[in-house]
Copies of this chain bind each other. A is one copy, B any other.
Amino acid sequence: MKPITIADVAKHAGVSKSTVSQYLNQRYDYMGEKTKKRIKQAVEQLGYSPNIIARSLKQKSTTTIGVIVANILHVFSTQVIRAIEDFCNDMNFHVIVCNADDDPVKEKRYIDMLRAKQVDGIIAFPTGGNVELYQGLINDNYPIVFMDRLIPGISVNTVLLDNEKASFLAVDHFVRKGHEKIGMFAPPIREKLTPRLERINAYKKALQLHHLPFHPDYLVSQEIDTMQEAVINMMEMPDPPTALLALNDRVLFEILTYTKEHQINIPGDVALIGIDDVSFAGFYRPALTTVAQPAFDMGKKAAELLLNQIGNKSGESAKEIYRFEPQLIIRESC
């Protein structure tokens, strides 16, 4: 039961390997009908299926791409991956998913592995820690697209959310509902990741536009593990906010854990909006008002951009930034 190769097929059909190869690649231009049929039969009888590894070696293309996600725990990541896989499968590409866990060291290891495996291109949620590495790939004209995050100094096709608008949407809605004391919870900002930076800045800007003071105590940006206490502290201030914005789904989890444990009534005691449309938003009690990212469209776009780049290796592809519109989904939490 050793695997059968193109040579076996050729022998069986009484033609040369070249001809079988032509047949397999649908280069029928001058192929005789009888030859075609003979090969077809041989392939079927032998149950032959080509060794893609061998083909890849020769063709210098693996029809595989790599996706390096910063943190698979975010819904956004999983949705984006799903979209990429769907698109790629339609285009007969495979995808290898890697989870960098927000760790530049892991990220580098994955990039190296993926390249060693000769993937045709990479879609990355860059951690921000491997700037030179990425720059090198770009200099080599290696197909790559960034997702979710801008890396200063690196010019590459990037698809991300219009984060400013996301915060605006939320703050505007809070204000419309009569809130003036609006708090925000975010993961640590020291990492200078685009979504955090932009959403926080826009939050401040939005307050300003509404002539609301920015109260530093109303903004918490720190590790998820200690977020619980932070929420408690903020809510136990003498004059706590009446509305809370969660920068992403993981932060939202923390806030929800707090509000549940302390029997806080939403939106009675505090109104709540989360960026990222979590799976349970619709049937949470109360249903959660969220700002949804069009994750599916974004993933698809990234895959499209990458496959295009892979397609025309020649031309310098334009390096653009694609901003996607978030959408406010009004439910009951505000």
At the interface, yes or no: A253 with Cβ under 8 Å from chain B?
yes
Return the chain B residue nearest A115 by Cβ. Answer: B49
Q: Which residues of B contact A282 (CB under 8 A)?
A: 257
- Whether A96 contacts B99 in the complex (CB less than 8 A), given A49-B112, A116-B51, A284-B280, comes out as no
Residues of A222-270 whose CB lies within 8 A of B: 253, 256-257, 259-261
At the interface, yes or no: A38 with Cβ under 8 Å from chain B?
no
The CA-CA distance from A52 to B113 in the complex, in Å, is 9
Q: Which residues of B contact A139 (CB under 8 A)?
A: 1
The CA-CA distance from A97 to B64 in the complex, in Å, is 12
B53 touches A62 (CB 8 A): yes
At the interface, yes or no: A117 with Cβ under 8 Å from chain B?
yes
At the interface, yes or no: A94 with Cβ under 8 Å from chain B?
yes
The CA-CA distance from A1 to B138 in the complex, in Å, is 12
The CA-CA distance from A25 to B50 in the complex, in Å, is 28
CB within 8 A of A285: which of B99, B115, B260?
B260
- Whether A57 contacts B53 in the complex (CB less than 8 A), given A85-B99, A253-B283, comes out as yes
At the interface, yes or no: A54 with Cβ under 8 Å from chain B?
yes
Return the chain B residue nearest A253 by Cβ. Answer: B283
Copy count, this protein chain: 2
At the interface, yes or no: A279 with Cβ under 8 Å from chain B?
yes
Chain A interface residue count: which class? 35 or more
The CA-CA distance from A53 to B59 in the complex, in Å, is 11
Residues of A160-207 whose CB lies within 8 A of B: none
Q: Which residues of B contact A22 (CB under 8 A)?
A: none
Q: How far is the CB of A263 from chain B (nearest CB, A)?
A: 9
At the interface, yes or no: A72 with Cβ under 8 Å from chain B?
yes
Q: How far is the CB of A256 from chain B (nearest CB, A)?
A: 4
A113 touches B94 (CB 8 A): yes
The CA-CA distance from A52 to B54 in the complex, in Å, is 12
At the interface, yes or no: A220 with Cβ under 8 Å from chain B?
no
Q: Which residues of B contact A12 (CB under 8 A)?
A: none
At the interface, yes or no: A18 with Cβ under 8 Å from chain B?
no
Q: How far is the CB of A235 from chain B (nearest CB, A)?
A: 15
At the interface, yes or no: A56 with Cβ under 8 Å from chain B?
yes
At the interface, yes or no: A13 with Cβ under 8 Å from chain B?
no
CB within 8 A of A118: which of B53, B118, B261, B285?
B53
At the interface, yes or no: A17 with Cβ under 8 Å from chain B?
no
Q: Which residues of B contact A253 (CB under 8 A)?
A: 279-280, 283
CB within 8 A of A51: which of B54, B98, B118?
B118
CB within 8 A of A50: which of B116, B256, B279?
B116
The CA-CA distance from A259 to B287 in the complex, in Å, is 12
Q: Which residues of B contact A62 (CB under 8 A)?
A: 53
Listed A/B pairs (12) with beta-carbon separation below 8 Å: A1-B140, A1-B141, A49-B112, A51-B116, A53-B53, A53-B57, A64-B117, A82-B99, A253-B280, A256-B280, A261-B283, A280-B280
Given pairs A51-B118, A97-B97, 8 additional interface contacts (CB within 8 A): A53-B53, A53-B57, A53-B117, A95-B96, A253-B279, A257-B283, A260-B285, A261-B283
